[in-house]
Amino acid sequence: MKDWTTIRERYLRDSVPVRLGGLAANLRRIKSFAGHDANVAVVESLLDESKYFIEWTAREAEIETAAELVELQIQLACWQRDWAVLWSDPVQRTQMAERSRLWSDRVLDLSGLLNS
C-alpha cells in the first residue's frame, strides 16, 4: 500500500508545470508497460497515481487546463471500471495504450515545459 500522504506532500512541492510533466510521464509509462501481460499491476498502480496527480493539480491549474484534466481523470476511471475486460483484450489494451500516449503528449503540451 502506498503512503499517499507522503507522495502528495512531495508532489505538491513542485510547480504546476512540473506536476503536469510528472503526470505526462506517468501516462507515457502506461503506454510503455501496457505492451506486456505481466505488467498489469504496474499499469493499474500508474492509473491510480495519475488520478491522484490530477486531483492534486487541477485546483491550481488554469481553468482550461483543469477542464482537460477532469476529462482525463474520467477516462482513467473508465479504464479502471472495465479493467479486467480491457486488460485481457489485446485490441482494447492497445487502444488504451495509444490513448494514454496521446494524453501524455497533450498534458506535456499543457505544462508548457517544452516551450521554455
- Model confidence over 2-16: pLDDT tens digits? 899 999 999 999 999
* pLDDT of the residue at 1: 75
Rounded to 10 degrees, what is the CA torsion of 56, 59, 62, 64? Answer: 90
Asked if the model's pLDDT at residue 116 lies above 70, the reply is no
What's the pTM value of the predicted model, to 2 decimals? 0.94
- Model confidence over 85-94: pLDDT tens digits? 999 999 999 9
Task: Provide the pLDDT confidence category of residue 107 given band limits of 50, 70 and 90.
Answer: very high
* Domain ranges (residues) in the chain: 15-109
Please state the rounded mean pLDDT for residues 11-35. 97
